Chains A and B, each alone.
Chain A
Amino acid sequence: MKGFVPVYRKELYSLFASPIFYVVAFTFLVIAGYFFYSAVAYYNLMSFQASQSPMAARQLNVSDMVLRPFFLDLSIVLLLISTLLTMRLYAEERKTGTIELLLTYPVRDLSAVLAKFAAVATSFLAILAGTLPGMFLLHMIADPSYPTIFCGYLGVFLMGSAFLSLGVFTSSLTQNQIVAAVLSFGALLMFWVIGWTKNLVGPTAGSFIDYVSVIRHLDNFAKGIVDTRDLLYYLMFIVLFLFLTLRQMESFRWRG
């Protein structure tokens, strides 16, 4: 894996030096803050009502009423930011010609692909960390389940990474960043909404579609359950698209 570290550091530097990262982070955090606020406000309202009926009080649950909707809502914004974070990775190098440097340096294509992916995943983690103050507030005013919080973050991070891997792939397909962004956004949206048709097709196809749907696997994490099927789904998703990127770079070399 020689060459991984310098490429990773360079990519990370380029990300943090570009305005895209800050605009993306800002947008994400504003929307995430709004989602968090609305979930907490709803919980607050419910608590007032519960004070009048002891029956309703028993159903109050921070995990179900705040954490789960918060994590599921976050995934919508992921759709937007992952495409923006990844679109420049290969497209820009092809546009400016620096790809010629990268491909003639003694670095394996695999190291370069992994380094680029790791760099955007790191930047995504940094953005995600920006939502932690909300969890701290929750800790002050309520008594949330910490394993659920951890699971939720793990799920969002895995799903985000899966989205990023697809973005890396679409970025390697073109030298136009907009094309790369549109392609990855379209593909991700498709993976998202494909679950809607699960009841319209036969039972076998239905369960297959359900498994392929990218959002279904987040639900368990948001509830605080780590299921190996979900874990495996996201890992396979990442491996598949990084592998396709590698193949695409190989094909790019041959076409010249």
Chain B
Amino acid sequence: MIETEGLTKFYGPLAAIRDVTFHIERGEVVGFLGPNGAGKSTTIRILTCYMPATAGSARIDGTDCFEQSLEVRRKVGYLPENVPLYLDLTVRRFLRFAAGVKGINGKDQEGEISRVIGICGLEKVSHRILGHLSKGYRQRVGLAQALLNSPPVLILDEPTIGLDPAQIVEIRKLIHELREEHTILLSSHVLPEVAQLCDRVLIINKGQIVATDTPGNLTAQLQKSAQIVLQVDGDAAGLAPALESLEGVQRVSFRENQHGRFWIETDRSRELRPEIARLVVDRRLDLLELKLVDLSLEEIFMQLVTEEPSQEESET
């Protein structure tokens, strides 16, 4: 549904994105993940025909974004970052304008506007001026205009940024409901959000795609090491060196003020918990806690964007 091939964009001598290639199938919900300035918005702006790419091509539903820009713009509902709106208009008047430019006219117009107002829960504010609305409502109006005319593709740039937790939950719920009818590409730098909402994640860093997979696979694939937290009671002196001597343990750390608590980094290939438990009991210490901590998507993301994976690492 959305295809890009070697997409590159230069701002003067600066490359914002370089050779970005990905395919998104019909009906997929894909999260576009990356730190600020990684090139998410640039890629999205090329896809929505806001600006042309320096090199490479982008197609939406088989239509080229540069050659047949108007056709593409008809197929895409777009929520730009920071939700720019005409703040001097009322919600309904703004939606009437958006419906008009999207080619919905005459008697269909009011029906379509009422439909998106219903989906986005804007009934109460439909006669208020956009400039007087809260950020959460503006976000919903932005989403409402993107939904007009039921475009097959929805592109949402940072749909939850700047909202309070309750509003974030609502917007996420809304996006979740939309997945039935639309192919959705949403960008974000909030990982749990992407993990919750998306079938697949594209991670972009410094203008290049560094990983693409399901949130689950990404987690599994990239968790080369696991961390075990151990809490014991009693005289734990000498326990740390003993733990380190176990096969598969990479590093043991503890803090002075947290007596009897150890963080053990281990090789993921082996299950070490039984051995650790035995070691503790053999030393006549009381075992209080022993648990495996999974690396969160957040940490994987940090790993990916702070260091480029070497050839060897990307093969594993």
Contact = CB atoms under 8 A, between A and B. Distances in A.
B49 A104 contact: yes
Contact of A3 (B45, B49, B76, B101): B101
B102 interface: yes
Contacts of B161: none
B266 interface: no
Contacts of B262: none
B100 A14 contact: no
Nearest to A96: B84
Contacts of B73: 104-106
Contacts of B242: none
Contact of A9 (B9, B86, B87, B97): B97
Contact of B89 (A14, A108, A254): A14
Candidate in B45, B50, B78, B98 with the most chain A CB atoms within 10 angstroms: B50
Nearest to A102: B101
A104 B99 CA distance: 13
B100 A5 contact: yes
Nearest to B80: A100
Interface string B116-141: 00000000000000000000000000
A97 interface: yes
A9 B86 CA distance: 13
A101 B88 CA distance: 15
Contact of B84 (A3, A10, A13, A100): A100
Contacts of A108: 70
B86 A98 contact: yes
B48 interface: yes
A14 to B, nearest CB: 5
Contacts of B78: 101, 104
Q: At the interface, is chain A mostly helix, strand, loop or mixed?
A: helix
A105 to B, nearest CB: 4
Contacts of B45: 100, 256
Contacts of A104: 48-50, 73, 76, 78, 80
Contact of A103 (B42, B50, B85, B87): B50
A62 interface: no
Contacts of A106: 70, 73-74, 101-103
Interface residues of B, number: 32
A17 B129 CA distance: 11
A184 to B, nearest CB: 22
A9 B97 CA distance: 8
A6 B84 contact: no
Contacts of B89: 10, 13-14, 17
B93 interface: yes
Given A10-B89, A14-B89, A97 B101 contact: no
A207 to B, nearest CB: 44
Interface in A91-116: 96-101, 103-108
Contacts of A6: 96-97, 99-101
A17 B51 contact: no
Contacts of B74: 106
Given A10-B97, A106-B70, A253 B88 contact: no
Interface string A1-26: 01101110110011001100000000
B52 A105 contact: no
Contacts of B103: 2-3, 106
Contacts of B96: 6
Interface in B161-198: none
B178 to A, nearest CB: 19
Nearest to A100: B80
Nearest to B70: A106
B150 to A, nearest CB: 14
A97 B138 CA distance: 14
A16 to B, nearest CB: 10
A254 B98 contact: no
Contact of A105 (B11, B86, B101): B101
B98 A105 contact: yes
Interface of B: 9, 11, 42, 45, 48-52, 70, 73-74, 76, 78, 80, 82, 84-89, 93, 96-103, 145
12 contacts: A6-B101, A14-B88, A18-B88, A97-B82, A100-B45, A101-B80, A104-B78, A105-B73, A105-B101, A106-B101, A108-B70, A256-B51
Given A13-B89, A104-B49, 12 more contacts: A3-B103, A6-B99, A14-B86, A17-B89, A18-B88, A101-B78, A101-B84, A104-B78, A105-B73, A106-B73, A255-B11, A256-B51
